[in-house]
């Protein structure tokens, strides 16, 4: 786990510790000290704590003009025991929504497991974004299957063309435009 780093090629475009509107503004990262762990396995110091023992994030990019954020995840998303969606919603999403962010791209390649509970926080998040959306990109098949069992696909777009293997080769705005075009197509079908 300590070898899994958040995507860093967009650091030249965005740094949450320097963004006064970021929930991680002013945070100092010590890359010589591995102190955070998930189930006893140390994780890279660049991952950010959101209040959950099993789920960490990295805000890769935020655009306050287009009102979108790209957030990468690592760990186990456990709503059943740790209520991870509550931590994410209350500590990160609501903070960002306060600055107008209403389109969220969640990168889930490093989500190693999902345990669902009810969908109340997802429903609340969905209602909060109004004209926006929530897109889960590159979540593992078994994680998406579990999410569907808990009706999360009613609030979060995932699967199909949102499995974008080459997203790391794109600049943030190009990546957003691609995801947005996929979401707009999905919305127009309903």
Give per-residue pLDDT as tens, 19-47: 999 999 999 999 998 999 999 999 999 99
pLDDT tens digits, 48-80: 999 999 999 999 999 999 999 999 999 999 999
Strand 48-49 to strand 55-63: parallel, antiparallel, or no bridges (unpaired)?
antiparallel
Q: For the chain, give every domain's residue range.
A: 37-189
Between CA 157 and CA 6, with CA 87 as vertex, the angle to 5 degrees is 65
How confident is the model over 78-102, as a mean pLDDT? 97
Tell me the Ramachandran region of residue 51: left when phi exceeds 0, alpha when psi lies from -120 to 50, beta otherwise: left
The whole-model pTM stands at 0.96
CA distance 164 to 166: 6
Sign of the C-alpha dihedral, residues 180, 100, 62, 140? negative
pLDDT tens digits, 151-172: 999 999 999 999 999 999 999 9
Per-residue model confidence (pLDDT) at position 110: 97
| pLDDT score of 190 more than 70 | no
How confident is the model over 78-87, as a mean pLDDT? 95
Spelled out in words, what is the top-level CATH class assigned to the domain 37-189? alpha beta
CA distance 52 to 84: 6
> Beta partners for 38?
41
């Amino acid at each position: 786990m300590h070898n899994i780093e958040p995507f860093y090629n967009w650091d030249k475009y965005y740094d949450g510790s320097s963004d006064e509107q970021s929930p991680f503004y002013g945070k100092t990262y010590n890359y010589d000290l591995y102190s955070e762990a998930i189930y006893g396995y140390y994780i890279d110091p660049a991952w950010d704590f959101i209040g959950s023992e099993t789920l960490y994030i990295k805000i890769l990019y935020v655009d306050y003009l287009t009102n979108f954020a790209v957030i990468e995840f690592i760990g186990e998303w456990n709503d059943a025991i740790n209520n991870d969606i509550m931590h994410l919603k209350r500590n990160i999403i609501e903070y960002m929504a306060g600055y107008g962010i209403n389109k969220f791209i969640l990168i889930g390649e490093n989500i190693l497991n999902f345990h669902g509970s009810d969908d109340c926080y997802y429903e609340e998040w969905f209602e909060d974004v109004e004209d926006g959306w929530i897109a889960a990109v590159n979540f593992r098949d078994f994680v998406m299957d579990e999410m569907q069992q808990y009706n999360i696909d009613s609030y979060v777009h995932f699967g199909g063309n949102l499995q974008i293997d080459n997203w790391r080769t794109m600049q943030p705005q190009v990546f957003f435009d691609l995801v947005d075009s996929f979401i707009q197509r999905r919305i127009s079908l309903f």
